[in-house]
Amino acid sequence: MLTDELQKNLAKRIDGKLLEKDREKKSEKDGFGKNKTLDEVFDKSTTMTVSGMKNSGIISYVNGAVGSGKESKTFWAVDPTGNDLALKIYLVSTSNFKKRYPYLLGDPRFTKIRKGTRHLVELWAQKEYANLVQCHREGIPCAKPVAVVKNVLVMEFVGKNGVPDPLLVEAEVDYKDYEEAISILDVLYNKAKIVHADFSEYNIFKTEKGLVVFDLGSSVDTRHPNAMEFLERDIKNITKFFVKRGLTVTNPADILERIIR
Ligand SMILES: Nc1ncnc2c1ncn2[C@@H]1O[C@H](COP(=O)(O)OP(=O)(O)OP(=O)(O)O)[C@@H](O)[C@H]1O
Ligand SMILES: [Mg+2]
């Protein structure tokens, strides 16, 4: 008979394997299977940017895709000393970026906004980088930013051997995770002076050392005219997730009050 502990570990490992397979399938579907090169997937300017990063020693090489959203693809890369990195490449070809204007307009850090998708996409990558720098400086658990060139953002890889750590949505959670998530919103607002604006169980890793927040492209300065509305939404979304997982949590309105105290 298997002990409970053993059974649990086994279940976890099977889940992990399935997830890995899922990711492989996903990256093949996205056109970035194991045998594809970056040039077959990205436009010339993007592949030049990545070559430039190799020439200047930021990265040595790029491995497979690890994540893929509507507006970006993330890759596992390795630096010259063998450290794993994450390369988030914002896609210039998607017009979806228009809906992102509201997160740029009104942010006092980004006042020179030219028209044109390419410029907007590059600005977005720079914004995510700036947000990461601000968070990392304040000791907030996030992926450490490394560099940004045009539409390519480089940061610390959160995970092992090219497999990202589980997202909060993929993990078992308890009350401590809830408290940690709320505390991240608190320090984001009060220390880094930013509001995430896309805070959810899909944009938080659950690592051995605790929760790590990422995907800060949408994040705005607390002086942004809609900052309060975004913060309120962030609190509501993450609360909903923990309630769905069966936890008894604090009323979102009380959390908001506590954070903006
Ligand atoms: N620093 C990192 N280390 C390891 N993996 C990462 C890192 N950043 C992102 N990823 C992987 O890439 C996926 C997508 O990242 P992210 O959420 O930043 O992109 P996105 O374009 O916003 O995607 P989506 O639209 O799905 O939210 C993550 O779920 C994760 O698996
Ligand atoms: Mg995301």
Ligand number nearest CA of 216 is 1
Question: Distance between alpha carbon 231 and the CA centroid of its chain, in Å?
Answer: 17
Mean pLDDT calculated for residue range 122-146: 97
Q: Which residue has the tokens 């720079």?
A: 126
Q: What is the pLDDT of residue 41?
A: 67
- Residue 31, pLDDT score: 47
How deeply is 257 buried, as exposed, middle or buried, from its count of CB atoms within 10 A (0-12, 13-18, 19+)?
A: exposed
- Which residue did the predictor score with more confidence, 241 or 110? 241
**Cα atoms in the Cβ-side hemisphere of radius 13 Å centred on 17:** 6
Mean pLDDT of the chain: 88
Q: How far apart are CA 215 and CA 142, in angstroms?
A: 9
Domain coordinates in residue numbering, the chain: 38-162, 164-260
- Answer whether residue 35 shows pLDDT above 50: no
pLDDT bucket at 207, cuts 50 / 70 / 90: very high
Query: Is 196's pLDDT higher than 80?
Result: yes
Please check the confidence at residue 22 and state whether its pLDDT lies above 70: no
pLDDT at 217: 94
Residue 106 per-residue DSSP state: T
* Cα 261 to middle of ligand 1, angstroms: 32
Arithmetic mean of pLDDT, 105-124: 83
What pLDDT sits at residue 240? 98
The model's confidence at residue 93, banded by pLDDT at 50, 70 and 90, is confident
What's the rounded Cα separation, in Å, for the pair 26 and 8? 27
Compute, in degrees rounded to 10, the torsion defined by CA atoms 34, 35, 38, 43.
-120
* Architecture in CATH of 38-162: 2-Layer Sandwich (3.30)
Q: Is pLDDT of 20 > 70?
A: no
Q: Which ligand is nearest to the CA of 212?
A: 1
Mutational pocket test of ligand 1: of 63, 74, 84, 219, the residue with most ligand atoms within 8 Å of the beta carbon: 74
**Ligand 1 atom at minimal distance to the Cα of residue 143:** 1
> In the structure, which protein residues have their CB atom closer than 6 angstroms to any atom of ligand 1?
66-67, 69-72, 74, 86, 88, 143, 155, 157-159, 164, 167, 202-203, 214-215
* Percent of the chain residues past pLDDT 90, beyond the cut: 69
pLDDT, tens only, 149-176: 999 999 999 999 999 999 999 999 999 9
pLDDT at 9: 67
Return the CATH number of the domain spanning residue range 164-260. Answer: 1.10.510.10
Find the length of the chain: 261
For the entire predicted model, the pTM comes to 0.84
Picking from 77-81, 92-96, 111-115, 155-159, which range would have the lowest pLDDT averaged per residue? 92-96
Mean pLDDT of 6-21: 62
> Could you give the maximum distance between any two Cα atoms of the chain, in Å?
66
Q: How many CB atoms within 10 Å of residue 46?
A: 21
Q: For residue 126, what pLDDT is reported?
A: 96
Helix (H) or strand (E) holding 68: strand 61-68
3-state DSSP percent of the chain in helix, strand and coil, to 5: 45, 20, 35
Residue 139 is given by DSSP the state: T
pLDDT at position 81 over 90: yes
What pLDDT is recorded for position 98?
67
**Shared fold status for 38-162 and 164-260:** no
Question: Is pLDDT larger for residue 118 or for residue 134?
Answer: 134
